[in-house]
Amino acid sequence: MKILFKNIKELIQVRENSIAFVSGKDMKVLPTIKNAFLLVEDGLISDFGSMDELSDIQVNQVIDASGKMIMPTWCDSHTHIVYAGNREGEFVGRINGLTYEEIANNGGGILNSAKKLQAVSEDELYNQSKVRLEEVMNLGTGAVEIKSGYGLTYESELKMLRVIKRLKENYPIEIKATFLGAHAVPSNYKNNKEGYLAMLIDEVMPQIVKENLAEFVDVFCEKGYFSVEDTKTILEAAKKHGLIPKIHVNQFTSIGGVQVGVQYNALSVDHLEVMNPEDINALKNTTTMPVALPSCSYFLGIPYTPARKIIDEGLPLALATDYNPGSTPSGNMNFVVSTACIKMKMTPEEAINAATINGAYAMGLETKVGSISKGKLANFILTKPINSYGFIPYSFGNNQIESVFVKGEKIK
326 binds, among Fe ion, ligand NIG, none (CB under 5 to 8 A by kind): ligand NIG
Q: Is there a contact between 378 and 405 (Cβ–Cβ < 8 Å)?
A: yes
Residue with smallest beta-carbon separation from ligand NIG: 326
DSSP code of residue 188:
G
Of the candidates 109, 142, 331, 370, which one interacts with ligand NIG according to CB under 6 A? 109
325 binds ligand NIG (CB under 6 A): yes
326 binds ligand NIG (CB under 6 A): yes
Of the candidates 13, 73, 321, 324, which one interacts with ligand NIG according to CB under 6 A? 324
Of the candidates 233, 251, 259, 297, which one interacts with ligand NIG according to CB under 6 A? 251
DSSP secondary structure letters along 262-280: HHTT-SEEEE-SS--HHHH
Among 152, 176, 173, smallest CA distance to 164 is for 176
**Per CB under 5 A, which region of 232-240, 316-324, 346-354, 384-392 contacts Fe ion?**
316-324
Phi/psi at 224 (nearest 5 deg)?
A: 90, -5
Of 150 and 389, CB closest to ligand NIG: 150
DSSP secondary structure letters along 202-243: IIIHHHHHHHT--SEEEEEESTTSB-HHHHHHHHHHHHHTTP
132 binds ligand NIG (CB under 6 A): no
Phi/psi at 76 (nearest 5 deg)?
A: -95, 100
Q: Is there a contact between 30 and 353 (Cβ–Cβ < 8 Å)?
A: yes
Separation CA 100–CA 97 (nearest Å): 10
- For ligand NIG, the binding residues in 293-322 under the rule CB under 6 A are 296, 322
Residues 6+ apart with CB under 8 A from 349: 27, 28, 29, 30
110 binds, among ligand NIG, Fe ion, none (CB under 5 to 8 A by kind): ligand NIG
DSSP H helices, 106-153, are 110-118, 122-138
261 binds, among ligand NIG, Fe ion, none (CB under 5 to 8 A by kind): none
Residues in contact with ligand NIG, counted by CB under 6 A, come to a total of 12
Of the chain, the end-to-end C-alpha distance in Å amounts to 19
Q: Least separation, in Å, of the C-beta of 303 and Fe ion?
A: 16
113 binds ligand NIG (CB under 6 A): yes
296 binds, among ligand NIG, Fe ion, none (CB under 5 to 8 A by kind): ligand NIG
Of 11 and 258, CB closest to ligand NIG: 258
Give the residues across from 47 on adjacent strands.
Answer: 39
383 binds, among ligand NIG, Fe ion, none (CB under 5 to 8 A by kind): none
Give the H or E element holding residue 390: none
Instruction: Please tell me whether residue 13 adopts helix, strand or coil conformation.
Output: coil
Of 30 and 293, CB closest to Fe ion: 293
Of 332 and 371, CB closest to Fe ion: 332
322 binds Fe ion (CB under 5 A): yes
* List of residues contacting Fe ion (CB under 5 A): 322
* List of residues contacting ligand NIG (CB under 6 A): 109-110, 113, 220, 248, 251, 296, 322, 324-327
